[in-house]
């Protein structure tokens, strides 16, 4: 596989990053994951908008423009012949002798991109529906910044796996914040789509924004508010959204079936419309 590191396209086995990289030593870096459909990028502008916001919140300078980044994404898609999959982009504060204080502003960033060829549209997990368990949300309090500090979500997902589930939904003060790597939704017995409102408690999902627009256009009732684990366990449907999972139905929460225990019609409709729109608007 060809990867991109600081201006060069090269085989993954030849790519090199300093042991002093602040991404490696301090998780001092941000990332984006963009969906590729039909060899094209879905919601690229939205991912760039969020990348700039994450960089800004961390006071991290970054010289490349969105046009530069679009060219790099496209070149990697071409070199790796990606029809469907993901492009991962990571920007760190660069490398400097280990020190908690940030290095000088002019320290060059480390910029890495790679692709993952994956079948995301035809997904067995989306067909069957995910089983999730709830796990305490012990992340730091700036979950709105997309940093590479992913140890806790990784541990939460391991715990979910050890409990026989596919994913973890994180819970803070009795309310679901989001999934380990996705935004979380329920559909109430009355048919209202509920997802937590935007704050520093969750990542502002690019897919979330697009899917809520689909829901609005379908004239579904939408409530952006926290929901409890109990409300989720008693919902008619549940699902999650992310660039890699698109819209993914959830059919079991803490071992209890959600509704009839099969993917629900609202999640199915949203997945289909989201896909159609994404294919039509990809760049
Ligand atoms: N929440 C978290 C914690 C995530 O890691 C992700 C995916 N990176 C999302 C939500 C979904 O974001 P997006 O729709 O932009 O992929």
pLDDT digit string (tens) for 63-121? 999 999 999 999 999 999 999 999 999 999 999 999 999 999 999 999 999 999 999 99
- The whole-number pLDDT of residue 258 equals 98
Residues 6+ apart with CB under 8 A from 112: 3, 4, 5, 6, 15, 17, 88, 89, 90
How large is the ipTM? 0.99
Query: Which ligand 1 atom sits nearest the alpha carbon of residue 243?
Result: 16
Last residue of a domain, one of 117, 139, 171: 117
* Burial of 130 (C-beta count, 10 Å sphere; 0-12/13-18/19+): buried
Can you spell out the DSSP letters for 181-200? Answer: SSEEEEE-TT--EEEPPPST
- The whole-number pLDDT of residue 122 equals 98
Question: Average pLDDT of the chain?
Answer: 98
Is the CB of residue 183 less than 8 Å from the CB of residue 212?
Answer: no
- The whole-number pLDDT of residue 125 equals 96
CA-to-CA distance for 164 and 132, rounded, in angstroms? 9
* Closest C-alpha residue for ligand 1 atom 5: 181
Tell me the CA distances in angstroms from 272 to 59, 126, 245, one per residue in order. Answer: 38, 12, 13
Question: In this structure, what token pair is assigned to residue 220?
Answer: 């579904």
Last residue of a domain, one of 117, 138, 168: 117
Distance 180 CA to ligand 1 centre (A): 8
Residues 6+ apart with CB under 8 A from 210: 43, 46, 274, 277, 278
183 and 78 co-located in one domain: no
Tell me the CA distances in angstroms from 207 to 33, 180, 258, one per residue in order. Answer: 11, 15, 23
- The whole-number pLDDT of residue 179 equals 98
130 and 76 co-located in one domain: no
Secondary structure letter of residue 147 according to DSSP: B
- The whole-number pLDDT of residue 48 equals 98
CATH of the domain at 149: 3.20.10.10
Q: How confident is the model at residue 130 (pLDDT cuts 50, 70, 90)?
A: very high
105 and 174 co-located in one domain: no
Q: Which residue stretches of the chain are H helix?
A: 22-26, 44-57, 66-80, 124-128, 151-162, 206-217, 229-233, 265-281
- The whole-number pLDDT of residue 168 equals 99
- The whole-number pLDDT of residue 205 equals 98
179 and 110 co-located in one domain: no
Q: How confident is the model at residue 218 (pLDDT cuts 50, 70, 90)?
A: very high
Pocket test for ligand 1, best of 181, 201, 246, 270 (most atoms within 8 A of CB): 181
30 and 57 co-located in one domain: yes
Backbone angles phi, psi at 50, to 5 degrees: -70, -35
152 and 171 co-located in one domain: yes
Distance 205 CA to ligand 1 centre (A): 5
Average pLDDT over residues 132-145: 98
pLDDT tens digits, one per residue of 105-119: 999 999 999 999 999
Last residue of a domain, one of 117, 133, 149: 117
190 and 98 co-located in one domain: no
264 and 132 co-located in one domain: yes
CATH of the domain at 24: 3.30.470.10
* Number of separate domains in the chain: 2
86 and 211 co-located in one domain: no
Q: Which helix (H) or strand (E) element contains residue 238? A: strand 237-242
Question: Regarding beta strands 175-179 and 222-224, do their DSSP bridges make them parallel or antiparallel, or are they unpaired?
Answer: unpaired
84 and 144 co-located in one domain: no
Give percent above pLDDT 70 in the chain: 100
263 and 227 co-located in one domain: yes
Q: How confident is the model at residue 13 (pLDDT cuts 50, 70, 90)?
A: very high
Domain of 216 in residue numbering reads as 124-281
Average pLDDT over residues 249-262: 97
Q: How confident is the model at residue 141 (pLDDT cuts 50, 70, 90)?
A: very high
87 and 16 co-located in one domain: yes
Pocket of ligand 1 (CB under 6 A): 33, 178, 181-183, 203, 205-208, 241-243
Half-sphere exposure of 14 (CA within 13 A, CB side): 9
């Amino acid at each position: 596989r060809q990867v991109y590191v600081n201006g060069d396209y090269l085989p993954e086995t030849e790519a090199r990053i300093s042991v002093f990289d602040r991404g490696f030593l301090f998780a001092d870096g941000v990332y984006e994951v963009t969906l590729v459909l039909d060899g094209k990028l879905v919601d690229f502008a939205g991912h760039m908008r969020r990348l700039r916001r994450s960089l800004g919140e961390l006071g991290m300078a970054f010289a490349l423009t969105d046009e530069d980044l679009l060219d790099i994404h496209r070149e990697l898609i071409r070199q790796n012949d990606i029809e469907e999959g993901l492009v991962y982009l990571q920007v760190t504060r660069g490398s400097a002798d280990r020190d908690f204080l940030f290095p000088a502003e002019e320290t060059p960033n480390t910029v890495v991109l790679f692709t993952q060829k994956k079948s995301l549209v035809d997904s067995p997990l989306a067909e069957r529906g995910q089983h999730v368990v709830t796990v305490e949300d012990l992340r730091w309090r700036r979950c709105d910044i997309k940093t590479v500090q992913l140890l806790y979500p990784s541990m939460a997902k391991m715990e979910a796996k050890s409990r026989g589930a596919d994913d973890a939904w994180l819970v803070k003060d009795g309310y679901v914040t989001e999934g380990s790597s996705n935004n979380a939704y329920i559909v109430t017995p009355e048919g209202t789509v509920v997802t937590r409102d935007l704050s520093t408690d969750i990542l502002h999902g690019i897919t979330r924004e697009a899917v809520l627009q689909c829901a609005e256009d379908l004239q579904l009732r939408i409530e952006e508010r926290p929901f409890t684990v109990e409300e989720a366990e008693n919902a008619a449907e549940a699902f999650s959204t992310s660039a890699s999972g698109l819209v993914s139905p959830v059919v079991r929460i803490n071992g209890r079936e959600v509704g009839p225990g099969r993917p629900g019609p609202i999640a199915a409709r949203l997945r289909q419309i989201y896909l159609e729109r994404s294919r039509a608007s990809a760049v």
